[in-house]
């Protein structure tokens, strides 16, 4: 599923009816196709994602052996051509590819860096299925000091898979950019005793044969590639329902055994609270995973945030679960809009604090505002910079921008706007311009004098609060 913002530049030509009888519908009979672009069109990340097609579904059948660190399997990718194609690209990092088929026929492919080019003549507008068989040792992306190490990271008992911004390609061939969301099936086979955790819900009990166990997970709601996970290892699991009736899946590495009940309970309670603030929960289940991992960070993996190497407190749980609405259900279509994810999730932490009778959002805002020398004043959050994507400004100043908006338009309008935003773009993609337009429409006010200094200009904005 491709976002409008990026797909509007693509011309869709349908050649239906032009196929000579007997030829596959998927083949471009005129041979007029051109190569799909090697990037989806995000100016900050020109190699990420690909042009010329739109993925609707990934079916990943993968086996992983934590001992040998060997991953092997097949990725079946359902997509629709958005132009006449002579070839198209997939993003894939490392691995040996043994075969590619398109529409059931063997297809030639070449690889260069993280780009795999598949030769296939496809008429614009036609759906096609690509099957990639591959194997090898996953290599995470190492981009220090900017983004660190991310993607498929082997651990001593399995794998820790958190892939923002573009690490999905370290474990499956993908259109690896958030502008192209898709649904997923995961069929994950691991040695008996190992638990394999992915997004969505388990389709039945795991099955065991020949010393191996297979876990089938389904994410039936569109998801960005970076939110997909196959986190594996020794886990203690607790499942049930929140008081509000949302199924919960909580899992912890045995090292964090004492955290399982708390993770389960707090994740359910906070998900229920966000429903009352942000509107209906977008997915079928909630939860969280705490893994034993050297560096402590967390990612908002769809339906199951993953916390690595620390005991998550309510602040970070409230952050990652707010992302289920802002980032996961409503996704960005280009990385410079990242404040729409991180500013919202950080503001949610302040709302949780306020709800708990701890510091109010106003008090937290004031504390940050008073720090006149904070480096975030030199970094406007509304256009995140690729060399420093996760700058604190995108989080804290982004949250402050939302608080300034709340003060300006009042609580009723602000929370109505936030719920409308979550509902208008549910399961889709959206931009900062669209948020500003909705804020102006909902409030009936021109808000350029607020958004410009808070989001787009250097320097500490004036504030009435
Ligand atoms: N989105 C994460 C958060 O704010 C931070 C993050 C970015 C991350 N890239 C990552 C976490 C890669 C783990 C791996 O919650
Ligand atoms: Zn976040």
> Are 323 and 374 in a shared domain?
no
User: Is residue 360 a part of any domain in this protein?
Assistant: yes
Ligand 1 geometric centre to CA of 70 (Å): 25
- CB 298 less than 6 A from any atom of ligand 1: yes
For residues 171 and 296, state if they share a domain.
Answer: no
Q: How far is Cα 2 from Cα 12, in angstroms, rounded to an integer?
A: 13
For a mutational test of ligand 1's pocket, the pick from 152, 299, 323, i.e. the residue with the most ligand atoms closer than 8 A to its C-beta, is 299
**Do 131 and 213 fall into the same domain?**
yes
Q: Whose CA is nearest to atom 8 of ligand 1?
A: 299
Domain that holds residue 424: 331-456
The CA 121 to ligand 2 mean position distance, Å, reads: 40
Closest ligand to C-alpha of residue 340 is: 2
Cα distances (Å, whole numbers) of residue 76 to 101, 128, 173, 182, 409 = 9, 10, 9, 12, 48
Contacts 24+ apart (CB under 8 A), 405-411: 405/439, 405/447, 405/450, 405/451, 405/454, 406/361, 407/464, 407/465, 408/443, 408/445, 408/447, 408/450, 409/439, 409/442, 409/443, 409/445
Judge if 176 and 55 occupy the same domain.
yes
Q: How far is residue 256 CA from its own chain's centroid?
A: 26
Q: Which two tokens stand for residue 134?
A: 């591959």
pTM (predicted TM-score)? 0.94
Residue nearest to atom 7 of ligand 1 (CA): 164
Q: Rounded to the nearest 5°, which phi and psi values hold at 144?
A: -95, 150
At 129, which CATH number? 2.60.40.1730
- Cα of 293 vs centre of ligand 2, distance in Å, is 18
Give nearest CA residue, ligand 1 atom 11: 299
Does 286 lie in the same domain as 225? no
Q: Which atom of ligand 1 is nearest to the CA of 390?
A: 7
Ligand nearest to the CA of 389: 1
Atom 2, ligand 1: which residue's CA is nearest? 299
Are 69 and 105 within one domain? Answer: yes
Tell how far the Cα of 150 is from the centroid of ligand 1, in angstroms: 9
Domain tally, the chain: 3
How far is ligand 2, taken at its centre, from the CA of residue 399, in Å? 11
Rounded distance between C-alpha atoms, residue 215 and residue 207, angstroms: 7
**Contact 390 CB / ligand 1 (< 6 Å):** yes
Among residues 273, 298, 329, the one where a domain terminates is 329
Q: What is the pLDDT along the chain (465 residues), one digit of tens a residue?
A: 765 444 433 333 333 333 333 334 445 455 689 999 999 999 999 999 999 999 999 999 999 999 999 999 999 999 999 999 999 999 999 999 999 999 999 999 999 999 999 999 999 999 999 999 999 999 999 998 888 999 999 999 999 999 999 999 999 999 999 999 999 999 999 999 999 999 999 999 999 999 999 999 999 999 999 999 999 999 999 999 999 999 999 999 999 999 999 999 999 999 999 999 999 999 999 999 999 998 889 999 999 999 999 999 999 999 999 999 999 999 999 999 999 999 999 999 999 999 999 999 999 999 999 999 999 999 999 999 999 999 999 999 999 999 999 999 999 999 999 999 999 999 999 999 999 999 999 999 999 999 999 999 999 999 865
> At a CB cut-off of 8 Å and minimum separation 6, what does 376 contact?
391, 392, 393, 396, 397
């Amino acid at each position: 599923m491709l976002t409008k913002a990026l797909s509007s530049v693509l011309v869709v030509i349908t050649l239906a009816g032009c196929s000579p009888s007997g030829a596959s519908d998927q083949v471009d009979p005129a041979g007029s196709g051109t190569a799909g672009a090697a990037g989806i069109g995000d100016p900050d990340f020109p190699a990420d994602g690909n042009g010329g097609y739109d993925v609707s579904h990934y079916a990943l059948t993968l086996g992983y052996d934590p001992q040998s660190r060997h991953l092997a399997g097949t990725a079946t990718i359902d997509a629709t051509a958005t132009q006449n194609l002579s070839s198209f690209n997939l993003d894939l990092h490392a691995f040996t590819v043994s075969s590619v088929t398109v529409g059931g026929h063997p297809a030639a492919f070449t690889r260069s860096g993280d780009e795999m080019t598949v030769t296939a003549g496809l008429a614009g507008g036609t759906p096609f299925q690509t099957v990639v068989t591959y194997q090898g040792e996953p290599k995470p992306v190492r981009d220090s000091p900017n983004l660190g190490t991310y993607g498929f990271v082997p651990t001593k008992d399995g794998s820790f898979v958190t892939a923002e911004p573009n690490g999905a390609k370290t474990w499956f061939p993908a259109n690896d950019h958030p502008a192209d969301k898709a649904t997923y099936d995961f069929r994950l086979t691991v040695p008996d005793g190992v638990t394999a955790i992915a997004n969505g819900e388990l389709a039945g009990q795991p099955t065991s044969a020949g010393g191996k166990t297979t876990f089938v997970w389904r994410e039936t709601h569109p998801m960005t590639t970076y939110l997909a996970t196959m986190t594996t290892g020794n886990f203690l699991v607790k499942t049930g329902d929140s008081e509000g009736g949302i199924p919960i899946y909580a899992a912890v590495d045995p090292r964090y055994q004492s955290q399982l009940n708390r993770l389960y309970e707090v994740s359910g309670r906070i998900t229920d609270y966000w429903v009352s603030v942000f509107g209906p929960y977008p997915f079928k289940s909630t939860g969280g995973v705490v893994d034993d991992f050297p560096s402590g960070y967390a990612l908002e993996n769809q339906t199951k945030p993953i916390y690595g190497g620390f005991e998550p407190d309510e602040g970070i749980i409230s952050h990652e679960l707010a992302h289920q609405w802002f980032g996961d259900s409503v996704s960005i279509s280009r990385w410079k809009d990242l404040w729409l994810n991180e500013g919202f999730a950080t503001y949610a932490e302040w709302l949780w604090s306020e709800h708990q009778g701890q510091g109010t959002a106003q008090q937290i805002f004031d504390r940050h505002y008073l720090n006149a020398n904070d480096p975030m004043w030199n970094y406007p959050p509304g256009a995140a910079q690729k060399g420093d994507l996760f700058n604190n400004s995108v989080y804290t100043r982004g949250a402050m921008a939302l608080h300034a908006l709340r003060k300006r338009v009042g609580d009723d309008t602000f929370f109505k706007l936030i719920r409308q935003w979550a509902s208008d773009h549910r399961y889709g993609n959206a931009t900062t311009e669209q948020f500003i337009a909705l804020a102006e429409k909902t409030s009936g006010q021109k808000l350029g004098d607020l958004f410009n200094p808070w989001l787009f200009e250097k320097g500490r904005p004036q504030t009435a609060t």
